[in-house]
Amino acid sequence: MKKWIDVPPLWLLGALVLAWAQARWWSMGLNFGGGAADFLGGVLIGGGVLLIILAAWEMRRMRTTVIPNREADKLVTSGIFKRSRNPIYVGDALILAGCILRWDAVLALVLLPCFVWIIEKRFVIPEENMLRRKFRADFARYMQKTRRWV
Residue 21 lies in a domain: no
Query: For residue 117, what are the domain limits?
Result: 36-145
Residue 6 lies in a domain: no
Question: For residue 108, how far is the Cα from the chain centroid?
Answer: 17
Measured between alpha carbons, how far is 64 from 87 in angstroms, rounded to an integer? Answer: 15
Residue 43 lies in a domain: yes
Residue 141 lies in a domain: yes
pLDDT, one tens digit per residue, over 119-146 is: 999 999 999 999 999 999 999 999 999 9
Residue 17 lies in a domain: no
- pLDDT, residue 33, reads 83
Phi, psi of 144 (to 5 degrees): -70, -30
pLDDT confidence of 4, banded at 50, 70, 90? low
pLDDT at residue 59 is higher than 90 = yes
Which residue has better confidence, 133 or 70?
Answer: 133
Number of separate domains in the chain: 1
pLDDT, one tens digit per residue, over 8-43 is: 999 999 999 999 999 999 998 888 888 999 999 999
pLDDT at residue 1 is higher than 70 = no
Residue 135 lies in a domain: yes
pLDDT at residue 5 is higher than 80 = no
Give the residue among 150, 139, 137 at the shortest CA–CA distance from 97. Answer: 150
- pLDDT, residue 6, reads 84
> For a pLDDT cut of 70, what percent of the chain falls above it?
97
Residue 12 lies in a domain: no
Contact (Cβ atoms closer than 8 angstroms) between residue 44 and residue 100: no
Q: What residue type is 27 in one-letter code? A: S
- pLDDT, residue 68, reads 82
Name the pTM for this structure: 0.94
pLDDT at residue 2 is higher than 70 = no
Residue 81 lies in a domain: yes
